[in-house]
Every structure is written in C-alpha cells, then in structure tokens.
Chain A
Amino acid sequence: MTEVAPGYYLALAGLMFSIGVIGALVRRNAIVIFMFIELMLNAVNLMFVTFSRIRGSVDGQILVFFVLVVAAAEAVVGLAIILVIVRRRSSANVDDVSLLRW
C-alpha cells in the first residue's frame, strides 16, 4: 500500500474550492449557485480532515461535523427561500430577479 501524500489532498481541496468560487460567480441559476457554495464548504471539510491527519489530532475531524450541521441548516432555509420565488416566478434564474437594482 502506498500512501498518498497529504499535500495532494490540500491541492485537491484548493481546486475544489476554486471551482466552487468560479461556479458560484458564473452560473445564473440560484439552485446551481447554491450547489457550488456547498462544493466550497466540502472543500473546506476535506482541508480540515487533511490538516487533522498532518497534525495527528482529531480536532479537525470534529470541526467537520459543525460544518455539516451548519450547511444542512443553511440548505433548509435557503432552499425554502428559493422555492418561494420559483413558485411565484417559475424561474430560478438570478437575472430574472430584477425588482432591485442600484
């Protein structure tokens, strides 16, 4: 068994986070944007676990549970808000949301 060096996991987490940022900024569908934000959160989770492994302490793995719970709570509220808008507009496109502008 050869072990993958932790550095690769960090690189993967960084890549996942960057994809999440770019996706959230580029895509226009509210639900897809939210999915990319979830990808960012999971990239951070991977980072926590990797640092936990590098440092040989379990703290980082415990922190992942906090993040999971918060992400779930956020999803409940966020999807409910998006759902209300989709019901009234039959579109989840953030560009259609145009009552407000500077």
Chain B
Amino acid sequence: MPEFTPPQVQLAGVAPEITLLVSALILLIVDTLIGERPNRWFLPVMATAGLVLAGAFAASTWGDNELQLSGAIALDGFASFVKISLAVFGLLTVWVGRDYLVRDALEDSEFYALVLLAVAGMMLMAAAADLIIMFLALETFSIALYVLVAFKSGSLTSQESAMKYFLLGAFSSAFFLLGIALTYGAVGSTALYGGRDPVSEPGIASFLSTSPTANTGLLVLATGFLIIGLGFKIAAVPFHAWTPDAYQGAPSPITGFMAAGTKFAAFAAILRLFDATLFSLRAEWRPLVIAIAVATMIIGSVLAVVQDDIKRLLAYSSIAHAGFILTAVIAANDRGVSGALFYLATYGLAVLGAFAVVSVVSGQDEARVRLAGYKGLFFDHPALAVALTLFLLSLAGVPVTAGFFGKLVVFGAAVQASYSWVVAIGVITSAIAAFFYLKIMVRMYLEESEGESSPLPIGRLAAGVIAITAVATIGFGVVPGPLLRAAEDATMFFQPAPETGQAPLGG
C-alpha cells in the first residue's frame, strides 16, 4: 500500500474562481429571499462586487510563479493577466446586459449568476495546469453559455442557436476528452508539468524533457484531438460552423461576451498547452496549426463580406481574428505569447464595445440588426456611430487604435519565427476584412436612413460601457506601452525549477 499523503490545500490560485462561485450563489439566494420587485438594481451591483473582488484577487497574485493544489493549478503572471482581463470583460457584460434585460423585460438573477459562473470557468481555464481541470473549466463556461445563448425566452432564433451551439459544443468536448485520454495513455498522467521525478510524479512536460527518446506517437495523436476540441471554442475553420448561428441568436451582450471571453479563455489554454508544455513537439503540431490558421483567416474574412446581418458579420470577423491570433501561436516565442495576450485583451474591449452599440441600436427584441438598419446612423445618433466606427477601425487594425498594435506584435512575432508567408496571408486577409468594416461605415455616414428615425433609448450603463471601451481602444492605441509591458511580464509560464533543465519557452 502506498502511504497516504494528504494534499496540500492552498487556495490562492483559485481565489478568484471561488469568489465568483460564492457571489453567484449569494446572488441567487438573495434574489429568492427578496422576491419580485419592479427594480432589482441590487442584482447588477452584487455581480459587479463579485467580479471586482475576483479581479482584485487575481491582481494580488501578480508575480507569483508556482503550482498549487497538487500541481493542478498554475499561479503565474500569465493566469493573472488573463483573469484580470476576464473580470473586466465580465463587468462590461453585466452592465450592458442590465440595460438590455430591462429594455426587453427579461431581467432575472440567473443571467448574472450564469455570467459569473462563465467567467469563473474561463478563469480556471487560464490557470489549469492539468488537462482534466482544463476540461472541467471548459465545460463550466460552455454549459453556462449554452443557457445564456437561449436567454431570450420568447425568441425561437435564440433557442435554435442555443441548440446548435450545444450540440456542436458537446461534440467538440468529446474530441477534447479523447485527446486527454490518449495523453493519459501516453504519459500516465494528465498533469501539464509534473514533478522532478517523471516516474513518481509524471506530467507531460517532464515526460517530454526527461525522455527525449520516448515514444511520442500517442502523444502526437492526442495533440491532434486537443487541437480539434480547442479549435471549436476559438471558432477556427473548419470547426466554426456554430459561430455565426450562436452569435446571431444570442442576446447581443452575450454575443460580445462570447467573442471576448470564450476566445481569450480558449487561447489561454492553447498558449499554455502548445507554446509551453508541448513546445518540444512543435515540429509535429505546427503544420496542423498553420493549416488551420490560414484557412481560418481566409474563410472568416471572405464569408464576412457577403453577410447582411451585423451580428453574423461580426461573427465571421471574430473567426478571422482567431486566425490572426493563431499566427502568434505558430510563432511559439515570447513575443508571440505576449502579442497574443495584448491582441486578445484589446480585441475583447473593441468587440464588447461593438456589441454594446449593436445591443443599443437593435432596439426592442433586437428587431434592427440588418446592415440596412445602420443607414444614416451618424445623422440620427452621431455618438453611437462614431463609437462603432472606432471599434470597427480597431478590429480592422488601423493605426492609432489598439487593434493596430495587436496585429503589429502578433505578425511581428511570426516574422521573427520566420513564418513570413503566413503573415503575408494575414495582411492580405486583413485588407479584405477592412472592406466589410468599411461597408458598415459607408452605410452610417454616406447613406440616408430609411423611414423616419425612431428615438433610441440609451441606458446609462450601456452608454458608460461604450464610453469606457472607446476610451480604452483609443488609449491603448496611442499609449500601448503599459499594457504591452504587462503582457510581456505575463509571458512567464510556470517553469519547472531550473536544475531540471530546459525552459518551456525557447525564445
């Protein structure tokens, strides 16, 4: 009988997630106790408090670099950076969501609780140092999002898109799980890092570093299935089929949250998995990821051109962006990782802002989502039009917006790793993408609005979110330094102690 050693319980690594979990439960209980009220202002306030506290916990561990909970949770700058960004995304979603729910008479405590749970799952995804924790995190935020997509209870479109999202999501997690099972078969553990002694404390990194001659065939096969599973979540081609439908059917604030948060969480897992843990297998996974990235950039950009619904257009744009960020994964160097973090943070802010505008403009029951509905927006609502223009320019990567520096660092990293031809495709598809962003702008500024302009009620919270994201998009475009440096500080993945040899990152 092996001797039983009780695991060390340190909760600092999962403090943000626990905070969110507890706030979600308290929120549900309080709402039940207080009962029906015309104005339940305390729900968004409690959600805000939970998210701020979670973000503060994540910020308080900045600079730590250790494994906790028997090596299942990584407490490092990378996780902190992602968690703080996700807390901000969650806050913006809650605020836009509040105005949206009140307008459409959908407000329920479940909305806030589910957003908090989804953020908790996404945060855990960034901190997971064990594949099974990664799987649990992935399912936690996915299941919360399935319900949130179906949240417009009167709308069949919302429910249909939730069903598609659910079926394809469950299908993809089965592949991810198969990858985990094969990894377990190859390594004998699902831990990403493992301990010093690869026999008693096996892990993927220690397996790869201590036995270079080991038979990695099974692990390579597993890697393929892990790419499929995560590819669904980042909406990479050919696993993107759910994206336009889910984005169109979901309530607009949730669409923005999915674009910003899901992508960030799944990319965090990809970066940790491929650019750190499986770094030495890069010769095997790179061709596959390159093929996916190129297909994603091209198909996302080209299909976006023919859309006439703004939510579907932004869905295809988010697919294209997944391709751009994948070029940083291919680069697999420090610059790529920090570039991807910077890109994801600024993209998230711009896309949340864009969907906040969409959520306001679409009006009651989202009746106005066609591109034709944006004709003459500048003359009726100049502030909304200017803000949307700013977000679209950032998504297109025009200088003086944050999106420009995102593309610059990400493509620069790929050039540094001598994948210039992938970057060339990225630049060409960015140009195609600029075309359909321009299409919206032409509608807003140069065309007459159809029919008489109806007044748009703009809630104070939604207006605040649009203002914050607009200022951030310009701010990080003019002064990208602080955020870029923070992203560079965050690129230290948890590394095994120096004496066991190689650093996970080769750069």
Chain A residues at the B interface, C-beta cutoff of 8 Å: 17, 20, 24, 30, 33-34, 37, 40-41, 43-44, 47-48, 51, 54-55, 57, 59-60, 63, 66-67, 70, 73-74, 77-78, 81-82, 84-85, 88-89, 94, 97, 99-100, 102
Rounded to whole Å, the gap between the CB of B317 and the closest CB of chain A is: 14
- Chain B positions within 8 Å of A74 at CB level: 139, 143, 170, 173
Partner of B166, one of A24, A47, A77, A99: A77
Residue of A nearest to B306 (CB): A102
- Chain A positions within 8 Å of B174 at CB level: 17, 20, 37, 40-41, 44
Cα-based distance from A78 to B169 in the complex (angstroms): 10
Residue of A nearest to B178 (CB): A44
Whether the Cβ atoms of B188 and A57 lie closer than 8 Å is yes
Cα-based distance from A97 to B174 in the complex (angstroms): 24
- Chain A positions within 8 Å of B159 at CB level: 81, 84-85, 88
Whether B181 is near chain A, meaning CB under 8 Å from some CB there, is: yes
Whether the Cβ atoms of A88 and B188 lie closer than 8 Å is no
Whether the Cβ atoms of B163 and A48 lie closer than 8 Å is no
Cα-based distance from A24 to B167 in the complex (angstroms): 9
CB proximity to A under 8 Å, residues B342-390: none
Q: Is the interface of B mostly helix, strand, loop or mixed?
A: helix
- Chain B positions within 8 Å of A17 at CB level: 174, 178
Contact code string B120-157 (vs A, CB < 8 Å = 1, else 0) = 00000000000010011001000100110010000011
Cα-based distance from A88 to B162 in the complex (angstroms): 15
Cα-based distance from A82 to B505 in the complex (angstroms): 45
Whether B103 is near chain A, meaning CB under 8 Å from some CB there, is: no
- Chain A positions within 8 Å of B167 at CB level: 24, 30, 33-34, 37, 78, 94
Cα-based distance from A20 to B173 in the complex (angstroms): 13
Cα-based distance from A20 to B181 in the complex (angstroms): 16
Whether B185 is near chain A, meaning CB under 8 Å from some CB there, is: yes
Whether B323 is near chain A, meaning CB under 8 Å from some CB there, is: no
Whether B248 is near chain A, meaning CB under 8 Å from some CB there, is: yes
Q: List 14 A-B contacts (CB under 8 A).
A: A37-B174, A40-B178, A41-B177, A44-B177, A48-B181, A59-B184, A60-B181, A60-B184, A63-B190, A70-B136, A78-B146, A81-B150, A82-B163, A100-B249
